[in-house]
Amino acid sequence: ILDDYPHIRGTVFDMENVIEGTQEIMSAAGKAGIVETVAGSFFDGVPKGGDCYVLKHIIHDWGDEQCVTVLKNIASVMEPNAKILIAEIVMPETPEPHPAKFMDVNMLAMTEGGCERTEKEYADLLAKAGLKLNGIHPTPSPVSVVEAVKA
């Protein structure tokens, strides 16, 4: 993102052990002054001031209750025009076989409550957190970008 949009600044927010490595990577990439690193748990709160909060392959790791906690924490610090972009596989609503459904079974086996979700399930999850589904943007990969704003 920062390579494509050099005028913006970013914050990487993750657990302490991840942030230590991130600082080294950002310095090596020449992004040390552009990217701030903050350690913490998104279950406890997130940094304020973002125009856009990006969660890639995060939401599918958790059950609905944990996801609502994370999303509420983000919503509580979002400015009115801020967005959340969630990069995940979005399962089709129809019953035919689909690769996303295989991944859903994998998440069930590998996590405690994690799953892939349909568009309706994302809309419901976001609503529980005081957010609104603003669109789903497909990509060339199996991953789509779920866009959310404050409700």
Instruction: List Cα–Cα distances, 141 to 33, 103, 108, 144, 145, in angstroms.
Output: 31, 14, 22, 8, 11
Residue 119 burial class via C-beta count within 10 angstroms: exposed 0-12, middle 13-18, buried 19 and up = middle
The amino acid sitting at 58 is: I
Q: CB-based contacts of 92: which residues, under 8 Å, 6+ apart?
A: 98, 100, 118
Q: Is 60 assigned a catalytic role?
A: yes
Q: Which residues contact 128 (CB under 8 A, 6 or more apart)?
A: 64, 68, 71
The residue from 7, 57, 60, 98 that is catalytic is: 60
Q: Determine the length of the chain.
A: 151
Catalytically active residues are: 60
